[in-house]
Homo-oligomer: A and B are copies of this chain.
Amino acid sequence: MRPSGREVGQIRPVTITRHFTAHAEGSVLVEFGDTKVICTATVEDGVPRFLKGKGQGWITAEYGMLPRATHTRNRREAANGKQGGRTMEIQRLIARSLRAAVNLDQLGDFTITVDCDVIQADGGTRTASISGASVAMADALNKLVAEGKLKANPMKGHVAAISVGIFEGTPICDLEYLEDSAADTDMNVVMLEDGRMIEVQGTAEAEPFTADELNAMLSLASKGIEDIIVIQKASLVD
């Protein structure tokens, strides 16, 4: 039995609130249970120097957490004078995931920066971030189309992510903090709408895992991501 009382494959209630803040081209509050993340997508003209003249756009991401998003207060990274390794790792993952979901050569001379800021954390902040960022990015891209700056939305499809893990010997889906902190293995899976994988990151926290366990986790992830994509799509129907 899971601490959360959920079925092994059951994800938390997921809500996606679009137009959450006023200024960004895309702005979403995504909630996976008690995990809450503000995702904004900003469109800016031009691309980074290393892409100049290559005929493609660019997508990047930054991640942050309010100091008291967690049970105890974490030092503010801006006050520390640097982003920590965990932050760097997560924002690189978000950015790669979003880029893999877009045909960058159809993005024109634009850079989209997605900011994912966790205002409340209860496990799975990086997967919630990716799932919310996909919708914020979709809004921003649709706006470019509506304004005639792009001919068509260059997304290959929605991209969503979920965490899976092995908790007391059993693979489970969408771990909340209590489950996550006691799990043997923690895996984050990012998939495209068509079921293909964009990122798989599995880490043995205590006990190594077998190929069978890996496949069991992947099956749960695949199912959970399907559920999220339904919610993403519904959120985009105004």
A200-B202 contact, Cβ under 8 Å, with A64-B78, A115-B67, A214-B218: yes
B202 and A214 contact, CB distance less than 8 A: no
**Complex CA–CA separation, A24 to B119 (angstroms):** 11
Interface string of A190-204 (1 = CB under 8 A from B): 011011111111111
Q: Which of A4-12, A46-54, A84-92 contacts B (4 or more CB under 8 A)?
A: A84-92
Q: Is the interface of A mostly helix, strand, loop or mixed?
A: mixed
Residues of B within 8 A of A211 (CB): 197, 215, 218, 222
The residue that A89 contacts in the complex, of B42, B89, B204, with Cβ under 8 A, is B89
Q: Which of A1-30 contact B (CB under 8 A)?
A: 21-24, 27
A115-B85 contact, Cβ under 8 Å, with A23-B71, A203-B96: no
A89 and B87 contact, CB distance less than 8 A: no
The residue that A120 contacts in the complex, of B23, B66, B187, B218, with Cβ under 8 A, is B23
Interface membership of A208, Cβ < 8 A: yes
* Closest partner residue, chain B, to A188 (CB atom): B201
Residues of B within 8 A of A68 (CB): 21, 23-24, 27, 40, 42, 115
Residues of B within 8 A of A64 (CB): 66, 76, 78
Residues of B within 8 A of A222 (CB): 211
Residues of B within 8 A of A192 (CB): 208
**A interface residue count range (under 10 / 10 to 19 / 20 to 34 / 35 or more):** 35 or more
Interface, chain A (partner B; CB < 8 A):
21-24, 27, 34, 36, 38, 40, 42, 44, 62, 64, 66-73, 76-83, 85-89, 91-92, 96, 100, 113, 115, 117, 119-120, 122, 187, 191-192, 194-211, 214-215, 218, 222
* Closest partner residue, chain B, to A202 (CB atom): B200
Residues of B within 8 A of A24 (CB): 68, 73
Known: A77-B78, A191-B208. 18 other contacts (CB 8 A): A21-B36, A21-B66, A23-B69, A24-B68, A40-B67, A42-B72, A42-B73, A73-B113, A78-B82, A88-B88, A96-B203, A119-B119, A187-B200, A195-B210, A197-B208, A199-B202, A200-B214, A201-B202
